[in-house]
């Protein structure tokens, strides 16, 4: 049995809200270096970059991991192993630890990489897997857009236009991962992975990744 009633929506709105104290605002997922390098300079280039990250990079991999964690698989070590850099590994680990601590009123879960922690809390509260997946990916995308709005900089309206334009990609990626196995993990966002590596030694930084 899974919960699809308003109580599920309340949980998702709370857990994946920017106000939930995970510290997610401190991470740019390599965007800071991409902006400094000139890869992302405006609204179209941001949309293109994020579309690839969602469909072919971290977004897709996180959903596969989340889905399997929601089903009870022990994928914490695998989630860490997928991190292409020290900063990405620290990002998912610290976000997951903060999420697990903040989520205590909804039930205890052990600290784990972020998508694993969200999947486990979803299982504990009988949240529908697809609801959980689309909400997670929307929050992931919104967080990166928020970082980009500050970095490029872009106006709030431009950020919202990018989010609206990426909704089909979010839904398509959510649907594409429904039947994905762990053998389907992998990606092709090499520039994004390189950005996370280069950010480690970037001269000036506002973000932790």
pLDDT tens-digit profile of 77-127? 999 999 999 999 999 999 999 999 999 999 999 999 999 999 999 999 999
Q: Would you say how long the chain is, in residues?
A: 209
Task: Yes or no: say if 163 and 141 are a contact pair by the CB < 8 Å rule.
Answer: yes
Residues 28-42 have pLDDT tens digits of 999 999 999 999 999
Question: How far is Cα 142 from Cα 156, in angstroms, rounded to an integer?
Answer: 12
Alpha helices in 40-113 (DSSP H): 43-56, 58-70, 76-81, 86-102
Question: Given a cut of 90, is residue 207 above it in pLDDT?
Answer: yes
Q: Which domains does the chain have, with CATH numbers?
A: 28-199 (1.10.4190.10)
> Are 43 and 161 spatial neighbours (Cβ–Cβ below 8 Å)?
yes
């Amino acid at each position: 049995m899974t919960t699809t009633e308003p109580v599920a929506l309340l949980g998702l709105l709370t857990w994946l809200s920017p106000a939930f104290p995970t510290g997610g605002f401190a991470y740019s997922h390599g965007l800071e270096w991409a902006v400094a390098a000139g890869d992302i300079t405006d609204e179209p280039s941001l949309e293109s970059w994020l579309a690839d990250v969602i469909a072919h990079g971290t977004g897709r991999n996180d959903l596969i991991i989340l889905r399997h964690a929601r089903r009870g698989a022990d994928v914490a070590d695998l989630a860490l192993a997928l991190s292409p850099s020290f900063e990405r590994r620290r990002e998912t680990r610290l976000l997951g630890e903060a999420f697990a601590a903040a989520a205590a009123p909804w039930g205890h879960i052990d600290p784990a990489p972020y998508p694993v922690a969200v999947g486990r809390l979803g299982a504990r509260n009988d949240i529908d897997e697809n609801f959980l997946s689309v909400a997670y990916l929307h929050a992931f995308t919104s967080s990166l857009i928020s970082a980009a709005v500050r970095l490029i900089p872009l106006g709030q309206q431009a950020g919202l236009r990018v989010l609206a334009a990426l909704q089909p990609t979010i839904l398509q990626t959510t649907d594409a991962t429904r039947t994905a196995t762990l053998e389907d993990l992998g990606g092709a966002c090499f520039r994004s992975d390189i950005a996370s590596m280069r950010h480690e030694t970037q001269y000036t930084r506002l973000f932790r990744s």
